[in-house]
């Protein structure tokens, strides 16, 4: 059943698109290739155990924690384009 201007299934399509975007973002951030021996952000050594546990690692634990904290602040964007979101 359509609601206003939205077609049938529009809400589910928004949900699916948001999930697909989040998955694509997460996959693009996965480490690839050979692990570095030193952090690319601060040049501190990366422990061997971390390099073995997470192949392709590029950051030390401290720098990775900072990056993860910044990622939590990422909210994406409002796909619905509501009036409130346009006023911000």
pLDDT score at 75: 56
Q: CA 74, 75, 76, 80: dihedral to nearest 10 degrees?
A: -170
Three-class SS string for 68-79? HHHHHCCCCCCC
Provide the β-strand partners of residue 45.
Answer: 38
The domain segmentation of the chain, as residue ranges, is 33-73
Q: Is the pTM of this model over 0.85?
A: no
Q: Per mean pLDDT, which of 11-20, 66-75, 78-87 is the most reliable?
A: 11-20
Q: Quote the tokens at residue 28.
A: 């693009």
The helix/strand/coil state of 46 is coil
């Amino acid at each position: 059943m359509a609601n206003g201007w939205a077609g049938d299934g529009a809400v589910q399509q928004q949900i699916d698109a948001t999930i697909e975007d989040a998955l694509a973002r997460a996959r693009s951030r996965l480490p690839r290739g050979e692990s570095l021996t030193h952090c690319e952000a601060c040049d501190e050594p990366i422990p061997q155990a971390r390099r073995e546990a997470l192949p392709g690692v590029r950051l030390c634990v401290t720098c990775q924690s900072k990056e993860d904290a910044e990622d939590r602040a990422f909210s994406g964007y409002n796909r619905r384009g509501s009036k409130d979101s346009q006023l911000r």
